[in-house]
Chain A
């Protein structure tokens, strides 16, 4: 009992959802939060970056232009062309490029010192981005196949008649519910969980450093682990931006695909 009381002190508050709610101006549903500010800052940063590196376009690119072209080329060839198909991918590249860069910069804010708060750790931002993707992939699907043809194209051709309603129902749930929910929750969950881990390591380490006995040693180890966790977070943040764009491209590609 005495060991348990020493290891699990009652004063220590583990991090929770409240750590992500940082209102700057106002309160309640319309508050201007730190996440809103970071989203605005990210838009400014992206505007400045794209403007500065593409202002003087040259056949022999400068270093900055080369970097921008590498990111653009990655989204265009590595994501859009592979998943939407070489016939129709070009008109979706601007959307996918915006999604990728916006999510990437906002995710990186999670570990970059002056910001250090992932915008996507607030569920509202992933929901808004997912809503854009959701509307786009249904819209282009309906535009391509017609309203009735789009719902027909959900069911693969050549299925026995008796199976059609069940498969249609399953595909409808996938399209209308599972896809948008997982798309938003995946980005949110990764950013949220990763940031909570960092808070736990830092505040827990601080608490142990200030305790008696042998606990400060563990506290020091925890703080060293925080550096490793930061590197791991960096990897996850880049990966989640990639995965979100990849899945958006996959859903759009599935909606505009010809009959299979």
Chain B
């Protein structure tokens, strides 16, 4: 079997952000469902949270290419 171990690292680094982004949007959908008029206020918060949680996965894919021999 051949391949690059760095890509496994990317897979591992995507687990945490995947769960995190899921939790953030679950909370956002819950909030909008309970109080639809709060959508405008919740939207930037949800996307900010997503952007910050996602950073780790982005590091993962960048490093997967950096450490590709």
The residues of A with any CB-CB pair to B shorter than 8 Å are 16-17, 78-79, 82-83, 182, 185-186, 188-190, 192-193, 239, 242-243, 246-247, 250
Q: Which of A79, A83, A193 contacts B61 (CB 8 A)?
A: A193
User: Complex Cα distance A189/B58, Å?
Assistant: 6
Interface of chain A, helix or strand or loop or mixed? helix
Is there an interface contact between A186 and B54, defined as CB atoms closer than 8 Å? yes
Is there an interface contact between B55 and A82, defined as CB atoms closer than 8 Å? no
Chain A nearest Cβ from B8, distance in angstroms: 16
When distances are taken between beta carbons in the complex, the residues of chain B under 8 Å from A246 are: 44, 47-48, 51
The residues of B with any CB-CB pair to A shorter than 8 Å are 40, 44, 47-48, 50-52, 54-55, 58-59, 61-62, 65, 68
When distances are taken between beta carbons in the complex, the residues of chain B under 8 Å from A188 are: 62
Known contacts A182-B55, A182-B58, A185-B55; A247/B44 CB under 8 A: no
Known: A182-B59, A242-B47, A250-B48. 10 other contacts (CB 8 A): A16-B68, A78-B40, A78-B44, A79-B44, A83-B44, A185-B55, A186-B51, A189-B58, A192-B61, A247-B48
